[in-house]
Each structure stands twice: as structure tokens, then as C-alpha cells.
């Protein structure tokens, strides 16, 4: 546990502005023009290079979590979600938003998170006005990678 605490402390010192959608970017299904990958020990991290993009994402992710709670059968109100559910919210939510705004875009990869959120804000007026009912459908349909069956 001491090593993990030391790692977290170093991680936070190295990564001043952690990417809000870090888990989605680390799955390599979502990309962002404002992110930079870095390596610390044997782990990979994602930092955000743009203060305004970070602020927009900081507003979007909690709204996606909040709107997805019922669909994901979550009863608590805390910010933290189990890892698999967080992956569903981040990847499924971003893919759903992209599907709404860019119907001709790839259906399994988000090309640029920052540009997508800006486009959504221009289209819907504000992040709070995003069509979360439609985004939630994509979250519930999203499937992360499957574990291989052991024999």
C-alpha cells in the first residue's frame, strides 16, 4: 500500500491536469487532440494540455454519470464508479455523443473528444442541454473487451 501511495503522489506531481476521460483514452477507443500520453514506472497516464477543454470535460463526465445511474442499476450518489461501469460511461457516452453529432463518423472510435464537446456545445447551447436520453442508450449498449474464457 505504501508503494501505491508513493506512486499516486508522484503521478499527481507529474500530471498536473489529469485527462477527465483518461480511462476512455487508455482503452484506445477514444482520442483527444488535447491529450498527451506519459509513462510512469510501468503504467501509462494521460494529461490534458488545454485548460478550457479540461473544464468542459469536467462538466460533461459528471452529467453522463448522473444520467446513467438508473440505466446502470447504480443506487449510490458518489462520484466514483466501479472500473467497468466507468469504462461504459466514458466510452459509451462519448461514442453516443459522436453518433448524434457526427452520424458518418466511425461507430467504434471517437476521433477527438475536445472537438466533439465543442461541437456539442455549439449544437445544443450548453453541455447541460446535451441529449442525455440518447447518450444513455449508447452507454448501456457499450461493451468493453471480454475476458477470455478459461477452460
Residue 31 resides in a domain? yes
pLDDT for residue 95: 97
pLDDT lower than 50: segments of the chain: none
The structural domain count of the chain equals: 1
Query: What's the pLDDT tens digit per position in 63-88?
Result: 999 999 888 887 766 667 888 999 99
Contact 139, 64 (CB under 8 A): yes
- Residue 57 inside a domain? The answer is yes
Residue 148 lies in a domain: no
Query: Global pTM?
Result: 0.88
Residue-level pLDDT at 85: 92
Residue 135 within any structural domain of the chain = yes
Any domain includes 113: yes
Give residue 149's pLDDT.
Answer: 61
Write the DSSP assignment of the chain as a string of letters: -HHHHHHHHHHHHH-SSB-TTHHHHHTTSB--TTEEEEEETTEEEEEE--HHHHHHHHHHHHHHHHHHTTTTT-----S---HHHHHIIIIIHHHHHHHHH-TTS-SS-BS-HHHHHHHHHHHHSSGGGS-HHHHHHHHHH---PPPPPP-
Does residue 147 lie in a domain region? Answer: no
Domain presence at residue 150: no
Instruction: Confirm whether 77 is domain-assigned.
Output: yes
Q: Given this model, what pLDDT does residue 16 score? A: 79
Domain of residue 31: give its range: 2-141
Amino acid at each position: 500500500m505504501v508503494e501505491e501511495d508513493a506512486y499516486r503522489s508522484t503521478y499527481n506531481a507529474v500530471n498536473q491536469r489529469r485527462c477527465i476521460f483518461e480511462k476512455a483514452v487508455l482503452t484506445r477507443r477514444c482520442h483527444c487532440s488535447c491529450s498527451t500520453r506519459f509513462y510512469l514506472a510501468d503504467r501509462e497516464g494521460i494529461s490534458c494540455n488545454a485548460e478550457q477543454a479540461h473544464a468542459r470535460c469536467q462538466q460533461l463526465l459528471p452529467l453522463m454519470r448522473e444520467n446513467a445511474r438508473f440505466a446502470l442499476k447504480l443506487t449510490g450518489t458518489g462520484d466514483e464508479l466501479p472500473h467497468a461501469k466507468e469504462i461504459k460511461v466514458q466510452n459509451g457516452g462519448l461514442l453516443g455523443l459522436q453518433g448524434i453529432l457526427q452520424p458518418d463518423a466511425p461507430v467504434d472510435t471517437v476521433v477527438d473528444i475536445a472537438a466533439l464537446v465543442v461541437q456539442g456545445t455549439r449544437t445544443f447551447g450548453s453541455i447541460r442541454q446535451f441529449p442525455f436520453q440518447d447518450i444513455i442508450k449508447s452507454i448501456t449498449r457499450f461493451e468493453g473487451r471480454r475476458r477470455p474464457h478459461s477452460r
